[in-house]
């Protein structure tokens, strides 16, 4: 047992003060959002609701890319072990790449994600931006409707004259028939986008929200 001796003060140990303040986690910049807070105006919704599901283009893109990967991988394996390649891989790969570009273009039109010059599309009054968005969607619809209509004649000529592909000799219309189908699908997506842009009435509120955010 330890006891205190008479006339002896107990020793108290004190830690020296640090020359710098204690480290704390700096607060994150920007507004703090919780589950009940509304999203800022610069955060857009993932996808607008459409009558035709956007999952159609998404799944077609996945299937086409998967088929391209399998065909390319199989061709590389065969060429590595046998010093020769399949005769049909190049023809199928070119067709699938064209289909991938068209299907992805349809998805981009439906989601309004095509490349644009923001100086023209995002400037001016809300009414001007609305008319410009509708005009752009209308031009896309007209363009692909013309492509679809003109390609029908090409498909008919391939079928009537029994044209075959140079690679493996398949009927050419097996490939060309997809051009009018996807072109009319893109035109339909563009018309749907034009209708949705015409129905959108929250341009003014979006502009007010953006001004409030800038003022803060």
Q: Model pTM greater than 0.95?
A: no
Domains in the chain: how many in total? 1
Are 203 and 41 in contact, with CB atoms under 8 Å apart? no
- How much is the pLDDT for 126? 85
- Could you give the 3-state DSSP secondary structure of residue 42? coil
**Alpha-carbon gap, residue 188 to 110, rounded angstroms:** 9
Question: Is residue 42 a part of any domain in this protein?
Answer: no
Label residue 169 left, alpha or beta by phi (over 0 means left) and psi (-120 to 50 means alpha): left
Does the pLDDT at position 54 exceed 50? yes
Higher pLDDT, 152 or 29: 152
Does the pLDDT at position 110 exceed 50? yes
Question: Is residue 180 a part of any domain in this protein?
Answer: yes
Average pLDDT over residues 97-108: 95
Question: Is residue 210 a part of any domain in this protein?
Answer: no
Are 111 and 54 in contact, with CB atoms under 8 Å apart? yes
Are 177 and 155 in contact, with CB atoms under 8 Å apart? yes
Question: Is residue 23 a part of any domain in this protein?
Answer: no
**Alpha-carbon gap, residue 212 to 208, rounded angstroms:** 6
Does the pLDDT at position 64 exceed 80? yes
- Given pLDDT bands bounded at 50, 70 and 90, which one contains residue 51? confident
Are 184 and 140 in contact, with CB atoms under 8 Å apart? no
**Alpha-carbon gap, residue 188 to 195, rounded angstroms:** 11
- Given pLDDT bands bounded at 50, 70 and 90, which one contains residue 68? very high
Question: Is residue 24 a part of any domain in this protein?
Answer: no
- How much is the pLDDT for 180? 96
Nearest to 112 by CA among 184, 178, 200: 200
Question: Is residue 99 a part of any domain in this protein?
Answer: yes
Question: Is residue 110 a part of any domain in this protein?
Answer: yes
- Given pLDDT bands bounded at 50, 70 and 90, which one contains residue 70? very high
Does the pLDDT at position 36 exceed 50? no
Which residue range(s) make up the domain with 103? 55-201
Q: Determine which of 28-42, 128-142, 175-189 has the lowest per-residue pLDDT on average.
A: 28-42
- How much is the pLDDT for 41? 45
Question: Is residue 34 a part of any domain in this protein?
Answer: no
């Amino acid at each position: 047992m330890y006891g205190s001796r008479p006339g002896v003060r107990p020793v108290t140990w004190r830690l020296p003060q640090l020359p710098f303040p204690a480290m704390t986690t700096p607060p994150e910049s920007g507004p703090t959002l919780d589950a009940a807070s509304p999203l800022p105006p610069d955060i857009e919704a993932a996808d607008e609701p459409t009558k035709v599901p956007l999952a159609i283009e998404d799944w077609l893109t996945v299937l086409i890319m998967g088929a391209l990967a399998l065909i390319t991988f199989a061709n590389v394996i065969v060429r590595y072990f046998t010093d020769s390649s399949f005769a049909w891989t190049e023809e199928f790969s070119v067709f699938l790449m064209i289909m991938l570009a068209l299907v992805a273009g349809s998805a981009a039109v439906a989601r309004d994600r095509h490349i644009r010059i923001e100086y023209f599309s995002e400037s001016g009054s809300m009414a001007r931006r609305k008319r410009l968005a509708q005009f752009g969607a209308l031009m896309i619809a007209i363009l692909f409707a013309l492509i679809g209509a003109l390609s029908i004649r090409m498909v008919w000529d391939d079928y009537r004259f029994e044209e075959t592909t140079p690679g493996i000799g398949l009927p050419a219309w097996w490939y060309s028939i997809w051009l009018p189908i996807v072109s009319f699908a893109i035109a339909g997506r563009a018309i749907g986008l034009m209708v949705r842009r015409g129905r959108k009435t929250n341009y003014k509120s979006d502009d007010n929200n953006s001004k409030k955010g800038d003022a803060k």
